[in-house]
Amino acid sequence: MIKKLILSSILLICLNLAIIFYNLHKIFGDKILKVDLITFFQTNPIFYFLPFNYVLLSLLMVFILFISFNKFNKVINYYKIIFIFFLLILCVGTIKLFVNYNVFYYISHKAQYSDFYENNFVDAKQISIKAPEQKKNLILIFMESMEFTFANKSFFGNNLIPELDDLAKNNISFTKYINGYGQNNTQMALIATLTGIPCTNISLGKENTNYVTQQLKTFLPKLYALSDILKDNNYQNIFIQGSSLEFAGANVFLKTHHFDSILNSVNFIENYGKVKFSETWWGVADEDTFNYFKMNILKLDKNKPFLATMFTIDTHCGNPEIPNIPKVFNNNRYDIIRNSSLLIQKFLDWLKEQPFAKDTVVVIVGDHLRMSDLAIEGTVGDIFSSNKKIDNRYVYNCFINSVYKNEKINKDRTFSQIDLFPTILEALGFKIEGSRLGLGTSLFSDRKTLLEELGEEKLMSQLAKSNKLYKNLWKNK
Question: Domain-by-domain residue ranges, the chain?
Answer: 2-110, 125-472
The pLDDT assigned to 9 comes to 62
What is the C-alpha separation between 141 and 200, in angstroms, rounded? 24
Q: Which residue has the higher pLDDT, 465 or 441?
A: 441
Q: Which residue has the higher pLDDT, 113 or 197?
A: 197
pLDDT over threshold 90, residue 459: yes
Burial classification of residue 157, based on how many CB atoms lie within 10 Å of its CB (0-12 exposed, 13-18 middle, 19 or more buried): exposed
The pLDDT assigned to 218 comes to 82
pLDDT over threshold 80, residue 166: yes
pLDDT tier, 441 (very low <50, low <70, confident <90, very high otherwise): very high
Q: Which residue has the higher pLDDT, 138 or 467?
A: 138
Q: List Cβ neighbours of 388 (8 Å cut-off, separation of 6 or more).
A: 154, 155
What is the C-alpha separation between 381 and 377, in angstroms, rounded? 11
pLDDT in tens, 252-287: 899 999 999 998 877 777 776 655 556 566 778 899
Closest CA to 242 of 338, 126, 322, 351: 322
How many percent of the chain have pLDDT more than 90? 45
Share of the chain residues as helix, strand and coil, in percent rounded to the nearest 5: 50, 10, 40
pLDDT in tens, 62-76: 565 555 555 555 555
Select from 3.40.720.10, 1.10.10.10, 3.30.565.10, 3.30.300.30 the CATH code of 125-472. 3.40.720.10
The pLDDT assigned to 55 comes to 56
pLDDT in tens, 324-378: 888 888 888 899 999 999 999 999 999 999 999 999 999 999 998 887 654 434 3
pLDDT in tens, 376-432: 343 344 566 655 667 789 999 999 999 998 778 999 999 999 999 999 999 999 999
The pLDDT assigned to 16 comes to 60
CB 416 within 8 A of CB 177: yes
The pLDDT assigned to 264 comes to 83
Predicted TM-score (pTM) of the model is 0.79
